[in-house]
Structure 1
Amino acid sequence: MRLPVLFVLAVAFAALVPGVAAAEDCVDQTPCPLGDRSYHVKVPDDWDGVTPMPVMLHFHGWARQGTLIVKHGRISGATRKRGVLLLAPNGLNKSWDFWHPGSQDTDFAAAIIEDAATRYPIDRSRIFVSGYSWGSNMAWRYACENGTDIRALLAVSGTLDQDEDCETAPLEVRHVHGLTDNVLDFPFGPDGDTTYAVSLWRNMLGCGEVTGTSSYSTTERDHFDRTVWDDCTAGSVTLDVHPRGHFIPRGWFAKQLDELLGLGS
C-alpha cells in the first residue's frame, strides 16, 4: 500500500506534540482532526481499554457527515455491540471523490486508519470498509485501490462500473442492494441477471459458479435473497438483494459483522 501524505504528516505531528494522540481527545460528535480534514470515532461498548479492536471504516451517504454515522442505530448500533471500533470520515462538501482512479479520498481514508491506530489498539487483520449510497460507491473505490488491507467490503446500495479496472480487491465482498432502488439503480446484467451486480469482484477474486443460495430475514419487513461464491481463488463474494428501494436495511450490518466475527446471528 502506498503511504499517503496525510498519514506521514499525522504520524510526525503526533510524535512532536505530547498528548495529541490521546483517545479521549475526540469521540462521538467531537471530530478527530487530520490535516485540514477530520473524522469521527465510536468506541464499542464494554471495551476494556487494552484489547485490539476490529475496525469498520464507514463512508457516509451524500450530504451527510460522520456525526450521523456514529449515532446511527443501523451502523454504530451494530459496531458498538460487537466490539468493533467505528471510524466515520467527513467527506469534502459532504460528498466523495469516487468517479475516477487516484481518489484523494482513498489516501485520506487510509490515513484515518493509521491515525486511529495512534489513538487505539486495532486489529489489522479485521479491517472492514463499508458505505451507504454514494458512500458505498466510495467504499468500492477504496477497495479498488487499497483492497489488500481490507478483510471485507460491506457495501449498501452503491457500486462502481462493473468494467472498472481495479488495482486491488478485498479478501471478502458483501454487497446488498434493492431491486427497485430508484436513486442508485440496481445494476442488472443481460436478461435481468442480478449476479452482474458483483461481477467486478467475482472476476477480481477468481470466482467460478454460484456455490450457494438462501433466503433470510432480519425483521418482519426486511427479507433477502442471498447468492454466494466461496470457491474463489482469492476470497469470496456474497450478494444480498431485496425487493425494496434505497435505504440501509435494518439488521444487515449486524448480521454481516456477526458472521465475519464468528459471533452467530
Structure 2
Amino acid sequence: MVQNNKEFNHGFWHINLQEFVCGWGASFINISVTYPVYKIMFRQMLHGVEIKSAVQELRHEGFAFLYRGILPPLAQRTVSLSLMFGLYDGTKRPLVKLGVNEYVAKFVAGMTAGTVEAVLMPFERIQTLLADSHYHTHFKNTSEAFHYVCMNYGYRELYRGITPILWRNGPSNVLFFIIREEAAVRLPKREDHISRSVQEFLSGAFIGASLSSLFYPLNVLKTKMQATVGTPNLSLSDAFKAIYTERGSKITQVYKGCGINCSRAFVSWGIINVSYEGIKRLFF
C-alpha cells in the first residue's frame, strides 16, 4: 500500500501524482480489453460497412492482425488519460483557490487538459494507418510506420487531422468532468464494494457513451482525414462533403458505426471509471 500522496506545486499547476497514476492504469486496463471492438468500429467508420461485414473482414485476416496497431493506442491513450485526469485536477485546484467560479474553473481545466492531450496525436495518426487493411502490406509494425511517414513526408504529416481532434478533446473533457462530478455528488453513497463498483461502472459508462455519440461525427471526419498518406490535406468541410457524397448523400450514413461506437464507449468508460476509482482506493 502506498501511504504517501505526493503533491508538487510547479508554477501555476498543482501536480497530484495519484491522478496521473490512476488515469494511466485505468487506460491500460481499458485498451487491453476493448481493442478488438475498436477494430470493428474503425472499419465501419472508414468503409461505411455493416457490423457483420466488418467482423467477417477481421476474421478473414486472422488473429495475427486482430491486435495489430495496439501499441500506438497503448502509448497514446495511457499517457493521454493520465494527462487528462492529472492536468484537469492540477489546473482546477489552483483556480478554485484563487476564487474563480467552480464551473468556470472546470471549463478552463477541461479545455486545458484536452488541448495538451492533442500533443500525442501522432500515435492516433499511426494507429489509423495500421488499422486500415489497405496498409497491411506497407508497414510491419508501429516503428516502421512512424519511420516511413516521417522520412517521406515530414513530421507535419503526423498531425494530419488535428482540427477535429482539438474540437473533440476540449469540449468532451469539460462535459465529462462536470457530469462525472455532479453524478458523484448526487448519486447515493454505496458502502458495499460490489454495489459501489457497479454504480461507478454504470456512471462512467452512461457518461462516456453519451459523449462519444455526441462527438462521433468528429471522429468520422478525423478518420477520413487521416486515412491517407502524402495526399493534400482535407479541411473539415471538404472531409464532410466527401463522406456525405460517398455514402449516398444521406446524413444518417455519416453515423455509420455509431451504434458499436456507443456500445464500445459504454463498456470502455465504465471500465475506465471503475478502474480509476479502484486503483485510487487500492494504492492511495
Same fold (TM over 0.5): no
Bigger share in strand: 1
Say which one has the larger Rg.
2
TM-score scaled by structure 1?
A: 0.28
More helix by share: 2
Greater RCO, 1 or 2 (C-alpha within 8 Å, sep 6+): 2
What TM-score results when the alignment is normalised by the length of structure 2?
Answer: 0.26
